[in-house]
Structure 1
């Protein structure tokens, strides 16, 4: 039995969606506590000043204002509930995302961190990241977030071209972005990440590389490159559909990505994940948890999580999604202590598929030691060693399988999606050969 095309493509899309803006341990391995008792925490702030033209995330524009005190109480309640349910003893990182969490008050950030520290160990050096939009975070406000416990910023800069920023529906100018970046670097030296988008309608290679070179004059030690994804239901998608703006050119976007990653390598950045680049060791510990398939709790409207709910007597990891709409989520939190809308138990094969799809996003790939944490019987050699297709990928210089484990080459990282469409079916084929599914009626 092989992995059906749509399911393989779904896993590829899920892995791409998890690309982050953030290694403590190169293996992502436990440091003292059992892995089942450790987790990262994602906190979702659902509100924005306005919706960007390309965005289909779970975010809302609150026309009548936000009852932040009520929202804060519910975030604290849900954090307590899920930490207890997961039996979490240690939280290694906290990430405030959104939405635009820099619109929240520093008091809300401090309250969430205090809530975590009340029920789990939150080390003093834990990475605490806040996503920031330039127009919502002047220097004085950034300093307040630092006092509240934030020690890392991720700035949604997106472009240094004002016309492109207007097309994207951003509320800031290139000048605003650079001013915020400068203030952030003064307050959080070595702990500031910026996002830059590529593949926008009408964008050209030369000017975009000029933006990247300009950004390298101002940025800190972490940078993320994201290709625009046109999502149905967004304003930009509609503009392209009716011909108001040209459709993005995927071949040009691929060339921009190739030239951009080469430029960053020359500038001393390590591409430690498909979209993420760091120098001087400024890799993110939070998103590394995602790529290493560690446990993480999602708190807030529409947040996602992956953890074993020990508190419910369960021993199987679950994928969880919280209720999307903020008011409905708050009502559920008040009534039940959390707003989990969907729980999906992950079987052993599904978990291995995630280990493969997520781990290969990194330059470390999947070591034999890491694979054994999830599968003690089938080794990476058992699964991929005898595959002729995998051998061809190795001969083409795209994939490496050796004493270290399985990983993409520099060239392979750029075409990971196509590699996964070969590797995921191979994993499932070997899995079912070892453990054939039950015959209906048998």
Structure 2
């Protein structure tokens, strides 16, 4: 079985919902076409709430490992980009029928290159078309350079109340960490500063990784995300490794890196609450939590992803916006949004996603939440009982099923990628069996 720490949906899943009081409140969080009237206050809240992701696609340079949707440009039309971000946010919020935006995340690219005034303008637009609580989590990704430090105060005044800082080393052509930027971030955003680190870099040893963690510990602001470096086809690093210029750590080394990090962070008061995410109490990412719980979200900007039910539809859609910034802006200017692809998601599709994301968390999937999302069409007890493969995982203590719900054990989290295909297959067999029974 392989060990892989997935770079989660987290910020980029971007990777929503849609009720309208004029047509009744529908349980769009489930995508159900049956019994669509929400029966509980929780379901109603799910149907009326979404998070929102905003993608700023520009970077100063492309890191050797990165295959995200980003562009290097010396002549960014910031005014045009701002107008289009506002327009698409307005269009998609209206299209979704969402009444409340629970959190906002500015990702990229390098969104800290954007003017603070653009962030403020986008947030104001969101507030005009849905309720955005004053204490809603508003996050921006920041590169810890000297140039970024002066902008942190501007971001705070613009409405940002949480920052996520990417901390790397000079290996692979990555940026140096500027500790001053992190220290200032801790002052301006107390308890709401996250640090991202990548492990498994070329020629990196376990000891080097542990030394890096110990160096960053004094700078932490209550949250850290650890991502295993993965080779992405088409990147410079992929070609370099292919030519033999670099070699990556083997699986045993990666496993030791990860488990050592879990212990080091736990000793420092930072506990794992998701495969890649660690936090002290009260410092968890609320925006990412919505992804893992299968909530709805709106994606705004080039290449952004979304999951919501447009008004007038009966099931949720997986949506992706046009990738290239100039084409994206043209489409937004001419039709209000630049959705390039919208794929309908039935109930089974939504449960598959919930299974894959919910089990990434240490809490797992509570019974009540699964029943709510499935609209009573299944429950975790029955699902686990009818599948021999799941029973084997429970017996091997890789999964745990109790009165709280279904979750992966500490050992299960280490090989979660190997467990998920079996679980998804069991879920598909369960629903296909029920469909045959009805026929």
Task: Note whether the superposition's TM-score is higher than 0.5.
Answer: yes
Partner of 2:31: none
Does the 8 Å contact 2:144/2:166 carry over to 1?
Answer: yes
Aligned equivalents of 1:250 and 1:331: distance in 2? 45
Structure 1 match to 2:276: 275
With over 3 angstroms needed to count, the CA separation of the structure-2 counterparts of 1:14 and 1:72, relative to structure 1, is farther
What is the deviation of 1:382? 1.1
- Give deviations 1:106-137, integer Å, cap 9, x for gaps: 00000000000001100000000000011265
Q: Which residue of 2 aligns with 1:52?
A: 63
Per-residue displacement from partner, 1:324-347 (whole Å, max 9, x unpaired)?
A: 000000010011100000000001
Query: What pairs up with 1:212-361 in 2 under 5 angstroms?
Result: 212-310=213-311, 313-361=312-360
Compared CA separation, residues 371 and 78, structure 1 to 2 (3 A): same
Aligned residue pairs: how many?
Answer: 411
- 1:25 alignment counterpart: none
Q: Paired residue for 1:71, among 62, 66, 81?
A: 81
Distance 1:122 1:31, change over 3 A: farther
SS at match of 1:173: coil
- Give deviations 1:249-290, integer Å, cap 9, x for gaps: 232112101111121112211211010000031001101110
Query: Which of 9, 19, 31 is matched with 1:18 structurally?
Result: 9
**8 Å contact from structure 1 (residues 102, 131) kept in 2:** yes
8 Å contact kept, 1:352–1:374: yes
CA–CA distance in structure 1, aligned partners of residues 244 and 150 of structure 2: 43
Alignment partner, residue 372 of structure 1: 371
Give RMSD over aligned pairs. 2.2
Relative to structure 1, is the Cα distance of residues 30 and 250 closer, same or farther in structure 2, using a 3 angstrom cutoff? farther
- Residue in structure 1 matched with residue 150 of structure 2 by the alignment: 140
Q: How far off its partner does 1:387 sit?
A: 2.8
Post-superposition CA distance 1:219-250 (Å, at most 9, x none): 11000000001001001111111111123423
Cα distance in 2 between the residues matched to 1:414 and 1:13: 7
Aligned residue for 1:332, secondary structure, equals: helix
Deviation at 1:411, TM superposition (A): 1.7
Question: Equivalent residue for 1:173?
Answer: 176
Matches within 5 A, 1:430-441: 430-436=430-436
3-state SS, counterpart of residue 332 of structure 2: helix
Q: What is the alpha-carbon distance in structure 2 between the residues aligned to residue 398 and residue 21 of structure 1?
A: 28
Residues 299 and 410 (structure 1 numbering): CA distance in 2 closer, same or farther, change over 3 Å?
A: same
Where structure 2 has 5 or more consecutive residues not aligned to the other structure, the ranges are: 14-39
Which structure 2 residues correspond to residues 107-186 of structure 1 after superposition, within 5 A?
107-135=117-145, 137-159=147-169, 162=170, 164=171, 167=172, 169-170=173-174, 172-174=175-177, 176=178, 178-186=179-187
Deviation at 1:218, TM superposition (A): 1.4
Instruction: Report the alpha carbon displacement of residue 158 of structure 1 after superposing the two structures with TM.
Output: 2.7
The CA distance in 2 between the partners of 1:281 and 1:396, in whole Å, is: 32
Matches within 5 A, 1:96-111: 96-111=106-121
Displacement of 1:394:
1.8
Structure 2 vs 1, CA of residues 409 and 21 (structure 1 numbering), >3 Å: closer, same or farther? farther
TM-score by length of 2: 0.90
Instruction: Give the TM-score normalised by structure 1.
Output: 0.89
Paired residue secondary structure (2:198): strand
